[in-house]
Structure 1
Amino acid sequence: MFRQQRTSTRTLIAAVLTATALTLSACGADADDSGDGSTLRLWHYEGANSAMGIAWAEAIKQFEASHPGVTVVYEEKGFEQIRQNAGMILNSDQGPDILEYNKGNATAGLLSKQGLLTDLSDVVAERGWDEMISPSVATTCRYDGNGVMGGDTWYGIPNYGEFVMVYYNKDMFAEYDLSVPTTFAEFEGVLDTFVDNGVTPISVGGAEYPAQQILYELALTRADRSFVDDFQLYANPVDFHGPEFSYAATTFAEWVDKGYIGADSAGIKAEDMGVAFTQGSFPIMISGSWWYGRMSDEITDFEWGTFLFPGSDLHPGSGGNIWVVPSNAKNKDLAYDFIDITMQPDIQNLLGESGGVPLAADPAAITTPKAKELIENFNTLNDSDGLAFYPDWPAPGYYDVLVAGVQQLINGSKSPDEVLDEIAKPYNDNLASIGE
C-alpha cells in the first residue's frame, strides 16, 4: 500500500506529526513508531516527472511487491525543507527510515560528524555497492571523523550522477544565426548578440543554488584539479583573492552589468528559473542534469539542446544526492533493501531512459538519443576526472553564504572584493574548527 504524502510547511517536525496522524487514521496502526518491519518511511525531493522521481516510484512498487505486508509511506519534501531542517528532524524520533540528502562536507558530512547517520560500510561491502560506484563518485559517499568527504566511512549511496551544463533554446539560437560556442570568448559573443537584440540571455535563480553554480563555473575556467582538491578537500589553503575566485566574482558582476544576467534575478528561485526557460522566455539556462527529464517532458514549443560550459575541463558535478539512513531509523534493513532495488539494472535503465544519469545501467539498453547524449557527457567528465563537486559543500551553512554573495553581486550592493571577503571568512573559520 504505497501512499504519497505532501508537506508544504518549512517546519518539518509539524509536518511529520501531521503525517503520523494521517497514517494512523488510514491504517489503524502506529506506522511511524513501528520497528517491526511493517513500514518503510521514505523522504525525497525529486519531482514526480523527473528521471529520479520516475525511477524511484517504480522502485517503490518493486519494493512492496518483494516485501509482502510492508507499507511504504513516501513523503514528498522540498529541497530547502530538508536542507534547512534535517539536523533537527534526525536528532529526534520523528525522522524517516531513509531519505535523499545532499552530499558534501556542509550537509551529509556535518550530519555524519554529529552522529546522525548510520555507518554503511559493512552493508556496502556485503551488497557490493562499492563495485558499482567509481572512485571519484565515491568521494562524496565517504567521510572522515571531521565530516570531510573522501574519508574511509560510507554514510551514503548515490544511484545516479549529475553535472552542470548549459541548456539552450535551439530556435532562439537559429533566429540570430548562432552556433553552439566552443570557447569562452565565443560564449560571450553569443551572450552579446542576445543583449544587442534586447534579449536577456540567461535565466538565473539568484535566490537559491543556480547563481552560485554559475559563479563556480567561472572560477573553474581559471582552475585545475589541485584547486578543486584544495577548496573541497582542504588539501592546501585557498586564496579567495587568487586568480580563480577573483576572476569569477569580477566576471559575474560584469555579466550583470552587460545584461547577460537580469538585475531582477536576485529574488528568483530555481523552480521559477526553470519554468521561465521551458516557456521560452530565455535562450539559455545554466544548471544541472537533474532538469533534463523535465525539459524532455515539458518543452513542447521549441527545440532545445545542451552543451558543456565553454572554457574549462572542470564542471560542477558528482554522483547524485545520496540515500542516507538516519541513526535513529527504526527499519534499517528495509532501507538497505530499497537502496539495493534502486541499484538494479532495470531501475537504472529506467532512470537513464527518463533523462537521468544512471551509475549502473546497461548502456546498450538506453535507446533515447537525448538520454544517450546526456549519459555520454557525464561519462566523459567522470572518466577524465572533470567533476569538481559544488561550491557550497566545504563548510556548514556555506550554501546561504554563497546565495547572499551572488545576490550582492547581482544587486551591486557590494564589490567583488567585498563579496570574496565574506565568502572567505566562514570557509576559513570552518577549516580552523576542524584543526586543519
Structure 2
Amino acid sequence: MARSTSLFPIRHRRALAALAALPLAAGLAACGSSSGSSGSGSSQTLTIAMWTNPAAVAQTQKVDAQFEKAHPGVKIKLQTAPTAANAWPTLWQSLVSAKSVDVLAQFPPTPHSFPPASTGIIPQGTPALIQSGQFVDMTNQSFMKRFDPAAQKYAMGYNSGTYGVMTAEYVNNSGMFYKKDILAKYGLSVPTTYGEFISDLDTLKSKGVTPLYVAGKDGYQSIPWFGIMNQLLMQDKPSADAAALWEKRAEDFWSGAQTWNDPVYADTAQRYEKILSYMEPNAAGVPAQSAPGVWAAKSNDFPFFFDGSYDGNTIAQDNPGLNFGFMAMPGADDAGWNRPVLAPDLSWVVPTWSKNQQLAMEWLDLFTQPDNYAAWLKATGSISTEPSVPTPTLPWTDWLAAHASEGYPNVQQPWTSTKFPKVAGDVDRTKMQPFGSQTPADALKQAADAYKSAAGH
C-alpha cells in the first residue's frame, strides 16, 4: 500500500524480514485481554499505527475524524513511518514492546510463516505474536462478514482463528506500467506472451527508445524475477490451486525433492536476464522512492516500468496527462499463464493487551463500512477485499479490471530460519547478472548448495 523501497517479495521483503527477525517483546506472552469502554463521557486515546503512504494516510485520517465526531472524548493518535531504511520495523517494535498501540497495521504472514513443528523453525515477529496469543481473533467480529473468509484466513489465519483483517491487495510481482501512446506510435499492441514482449522491446530499442525503467537501487528487478517464476510454476494450473502449490513447494524444498537447480528456475533466470538486457543502463542507481515520478515525467521514453499497482495513483498525480496502463508482465509463452500475481497487503490487528479493544473494533467497523472502504480503495488504488465493494475503475486500471479475477497469491519462498544463510532462500540479484558479475547458473547453484546444507539434506 505504501510507496516503499521493498516489495513482497519485493516491496515488503525488507520490512517483513526485519519484523520476522524481531524477538518477541519481553513479557508479552503473559499479557491478558483488556477491553476499553466507548462511553461518550470518557476521555481516551486510541492509538493507530500504519506505514507511510500519503494517500492512504490521508484517507485513514478522514475515517479518524468521523470516528472522533461519533465518539466525543475520544482522540485518535495516528503514528506512521516509511518502510524504507528500517523505519517501520523500528516503530513496530517500539509500539509492541511498550504495549502502546490499539490498532496496528501488518503485512500478512500467510500460512507460509507457520512451518510445521518438525522443521524446528521458530517464527519471530508477527507470526510469533499470533502463535502466543498476542492478537485478538477477529473471526466472530461483525465486520468480518463483509469479507471473504477464505481470503482472510489465508492472509491472517492460524489454526482455527483469523487474527486480523486484510483490507488491501495489490499486484507487486509481475507488475508493469506501460505508456499507451508510445506503443501506439510504433504500432505495438500490449504484449500478451513472453515472445511478444521481447519483440516489442526489440522494436522499441531499434527506434532509439530505452524500453525499460527499473528501480535497481532498491531491488525492483525482483519484480520480473518473481513474476516469471510465478507464471512458469503455475502454467496451466487454476488460480485456486496456488496456495496449495506454494505449500507443496515449501515441503519439497525442505525434503530435498525440489531445488534451486531445477529446470524451471534456470528457465526463469534465462528469461529474466533477457528482459533486463533492455533496461536503462543506469538502473542500478535508480531509487524506488523517486522512480514513479521520473517515469511519469519521461512521456517520450521508458515505455515499460516495473512497479507495483500501489503506485498507479502516484503516477497519475505526477503527470495527469500521461496515457498509461498497468498489466502483468508476460513472462511465459502462453497468454493464459500471464495472470496478475496478487499480494495480500495492509491488514489491521488489535493486540490482546490493548486497553481500548472495544473502541478498536468500532474503528475497524467504521473503516470497513462500504462507503468508507470504497473511498479508501479509490485513493490508494488497491484491489478490493470486500466482495460487495468493487475494485474502483481508474483510467490506468483497464487491463487490471479485466484480469484481476484471474489472479492468484504470490509464490512463497522455501522455509528458512535465522540459521539459514540469506542466499538459501533466494538468489542475490545484486550479484547476479545483469546487475552483478555472477552468472545465473552460478547464482542458482550457490542458493541450492546453501539450502541443501542448511536443511541438512
2:216 to 206, 210, 227: 206
Secondary structure of 2:221's aligned partner: helix
Please report how far the alpha carbon of residue 223 of structure 1 lies from its aligned counterpart in structure 2 after TM superposition. 1.1
User: Quick check: which one's helix share is greater?
Assistant: 1
Separation in 1, partners of 2:155, 2:390: 27
Q: For the aligned residues, what is the CA RMSD?
A: 3.7
Residue 254 to residue 278, structure 1, CA distance change in 2 (3 Å): same
Please report how far the alpha carbon of residue 367 of structure 1 lies from its aligned counterpart in structure 2 after TM superposition. 6.5
Residue of structure 2 equivalent to 1:289: 309
Residue 73 to residue 91, structure 1, CA distance change in 2 (3 Å): closer
Percent identity of the aligned residues?
Answer: 19
Aligned 1:310-325 pairs, distance under 5 A: 310=330, 311=332, 312-325=337-350
Aligned 1:123-134 pairs, distance under 5 A: 123-129=138-144, 132-134=147-149
Separation in 2, partners of 1:429, 1:341: 50
Contact 2:68–2:75, Cα closer than 8 Å, also in 1:
yes
Residue 244 to residue 89, structure 1, CA distance change in 2 (3 Å): farther
1:273 aligns with 2:291: yes
Q: Residue type matched to 2:165 in 1?
A: I
Separation in 2, partners of 1:290, 1:305: 13
Contact 2:261–2:444, Cα closer than 8 Å, also in 1:
yes
Residue 242 to residue 77, structure 1, CA distance change in 2 (3 Å): same
Secondary structure of 2:104's aligned partner: strand
1:342 aligns with 2:367: yes
1:261 aligns with 2:279: yes
Contact 1:231–1:394, Cα closer than 8 Å, also in 2:
no
Q: Residue type matched to 1:250 in 2?
A: Q
Separation in 2, partners of 1:61, 1:400: 44
2:104 to 86, 99, 103: 99
Contact 2:166–2:347, Cα closer than 8 Å, also in 1:
yes
Please report how far the alpha carbon of residue 189 of structure 1 lies from its aligned counterpart in structure 2 after TM superposition. 1.1
Residue of structure 2 equivalent to 1:19: none
1:111 aligns with 2:125: yes
Aligned 1:425-436 pairs, distance under 5 A: none
Residues 1-30 of structure 1: per-residue CA shift (max 9 Å, x gap): xxxxxxxxx9x9xxxxxxxxxxxxxxxxxx
Aligned 1:127-142 pairs, distance under 5 A: 127-129=142-144, 132-136=147-151, 138-142=153-157
Q: Residue type matched to 1:236 in 2?
A: D
Residue of structure 1 equivalent to 2:409: 388
Contact 1:43–1:96, Cα closer than 8 Å, also in 2:
yes
Q: Residue type matched to 2:435 in 1?
A: N
Contact 1:37–1:70, Cα closer than 8 Å, also in 2:
yes
| Deviates most, 297-306 or 84-93 | 84-93
Separation in 2, partners of 1:403, 1:271: 24
Contact 2:413–2:426, Cα closer than 8 Å, also in 1:
no
Please report how far the alpha carbon of residue 181 of structure 1 lies from its aligned counterpart in structure 2 after TM superposition. 1.0
Query: How many correspondences in the alignment?
Result: 383
Residue of structure 1 equivalent to 2:160: 152
Q: Residue type matched to 2:60 in 1?
A: W
TM-score (norm 2): 0.71
Secondary structure of 1:294's aligned partner: helix
Separation in 2, partners of 1:126, 1:422: 47
Residue 99 to residue 91, structure 1, CA distance change in 2 (3 Å): closer
Please report how far the alpha carbon of residue 215 of structure 1 lies from its aligned counterpart in structure 2 after TM superposition. 0.4
Contact 1:171–1:303, Cα closer than 8 Å, also in 2:
yes
1:412 to 433, 436, 445: 436
Residue of structure 2 equivalent to 1:236: 252
1:358 aligns with 2:358: no
Residue 313 to residue 187, structure 1, CA distance change in 2 (3 Å): closer
Residue of structure 2 equivalent to 1:78: 82
Separation in 2, partners of 1:314, 1:377: 7
Please report how far the alpha carbon of residue 232 of structure 1 lies from its aligned counterpart in structure 2 after TM superposition. 5.1
Q: Residue type matched to 2:274 in 1?
A: E
Please report how far the alpha carbon of residue 217 of structure 1 lies from its aligned counterpart in structure 2 after TM superposition. 0.7
Residue 208 to residue 98, structure 1, CA distance change in 2 (3 Å): farther
Contact 2:218–2:288, Cα closer than 8 Å, also in 1:
yes
Separation in 2, partners of 1:267, 1:68: 50
Separation in 2, partners of 1:308, 1:223: 15
2:65 to 58, 61, 64: 61
Residues 336-371 of structure 1: per-residue CA shift (max 9 Å, x gap): 222222211011221333333222265579565656
Please report how far the alpha carbon of residue 314 of structure 1 lies from its aligned counterpart in structure 2 after TM superposition. 4.4
Residue 325 to residue 368, structure 1, CA distance change in 2 (3 Å): same
Please report how far the alpha carbon of residue 126 of structure 1 lies from its aligned counterpart in structure 2 after TM superposition. 2.8
Separation in 2, partners of 1:44, 1:78: 9
1:171 aligns with 2:181: yes
Please report how far the alpha carbon of residue 41 of structure 1 lies from its aligned counterpart in structure 2 after TM superposition. 1.7
Aligned 1:177-188 pairs, distance under 5 A: 177-188=187-198
Separation in 2, partners of 1:159, 1:216: 23
Gaps of 5+ in 2: 1-14, 19-41, 115-122
Separation in 2, partners of 1:426, 1:38: 52
Contact 2:164–2:347, Cα closer than 8 Å, also in 1:
yes
